[in-house]
A and B are shown apart, each in its own frame.
Chain A
Amino acid sequence: MKEALKAAMTTSISEVLETMFFMTIEATEDTEWGDLTDTAYGEKLFVSKIDFHGPLSGSFFFMVPESILSAMTEMFMGMEAGEVTESHLSGTISEAINMIAGNTFSKLDDQTVFNLQIPEILETASPPPTAHPPGKEAIFIRIETPGGNLGLLLFYSVKLRV
């Protein structure tokens, strides 16, 4: 399951970022995701989160530094740099994680329904945990772009059949 999820996540990230944001990326799995704070990334870090339920349940976290998110937003919405507001940035990263999560699950198993919740923006003052939450599996994909690194983190557990 974990290998299939990793493969689905990696393909999904590439498809979403290349198709919708015209970004050239290199996605690789990493065992450590480190410190998900503004300081660690050298600039303000936007983090969006989406929860899901179904045969698997858990959360995706998508981390994007502000400068890259600005460029993504300009491309996505057809805006000039000066026109982009914080609300546009939040909307863009929320939609990106929504597409990445939905696309991951349809690649993993299109016969099964996974219920995605509404994406939310996390304050980087309370970032995702730096270690596995108890009872959860974790997958971290580091996404290299010409403008810097992004990250996609997944915590999940498998629903036991009784």
Chain B
Amino acid sequence: MELLGNLIARDAMTYKMLVVDDSLPMRAIIIRTIKASGFMETEFLQAGDGEAALEVLGNEWVDLVITDYNMPDMNGMELIQKMKKDDILQAIPVLVVTTEGSRQKVEAFIQEGAAGYVKKPFTPETIRFELTKILGEPENEGSIEGSDDDFDF
């Protein structure tokens, strides 16, 4: 019920995203890059691994989960598998952002249900491309160059 309430109360003009990575600096750069990619009104939640992410998802509805692969306790693949087995969470798209670059791993992410994949290092353009593919154009039509965010891309 709490999830449903959050869903109804959510402002339809903004997105809420959960960023899952064991590296605090990487979570910070992902958030800044997403904002610089035109998704400036996005609200961000953060988690340090898959288990912490599931805890957050138990209380909050998000429009997108962005997850790393290589994390202690529960990695990104396990997180996707758990989400896809859950009646409610399976509807949330998952974008994998990781250093794992082998074709076999990328195919495995997609097979398990990931909506997209971005390899580190990434540019704002690659992030924007994937977000737009999954969520559509940002409401404010912000451009990378036109961003008000203090970010020197």
- Using a CB–CB cutoff of 8 Å, the interface residues on chain A facing chain B are 15-16, 19-20, 22, 73, 76-78, 87-88, 91-92, 94-95, 98-99, 101-103, 105-107, 109-114, 116, 118
- A95 surroundings in chain B (CB, below 8 A): 23, 25-26
- A112 surroundings in chain B (CB, below 8 A): 102, 104
Shortest Cβ distance from A54 into chain B, in angstroms? 9
B interface, size bucket: 20 to 34
- A91 surroundings in chain B (CB, below 8 A): 23-26
One digit per residue, 1 when the CB lies within 8 angstroms of any chain A CB and 0 when it does not, for chain B 11-42 equals 00000000000111110110010000000000
- With contacts A103-B101, A114-B102 taken as known, whether A88 is within 8 angstroms of B120 at the C-beta atoms is no
- B28 surroundings in chain A (CB, below 8 A): 76-78
The CA-CA distance from A98 to B152 in the complex, in Å, is 23
19 contacts between A and B (CB under 8 A): A16-B121, A20-B121, A76-B25, A78-B150, A88-B24, A91-B23, A91-B26, A95-B25, A98-B23, A99-B120, A99-B121, A107-B101, A109-B102, A110-B102, A110-B103, A111-B103, A112-B104, A118-B22, A118-B70
- With contacts A111-B102, A112-B102, A118-B70 taken as known, whether A73 is within 8 angstroms of B152 at the C-beta atoms is no
Name the residue in A22, A111, A112, A113 with the highest tally of chain B Cβ atoms < 10 Å from its Cβ: A113
Smallest CB-CB separation from A91: which chain B residue? B25
- Using a CB–CB cutoff of 8 Å, the interface residues on chain B facing chain A are 22-26, 28-29, 32, 70, 72, 98-105, 119-123, 150-152
Shortest Cβ distance from B93 into chain A, in angstroms? 23
Choice from B72, B98, B103, B151 contacting A102 with Cβ under 8 Å: B98
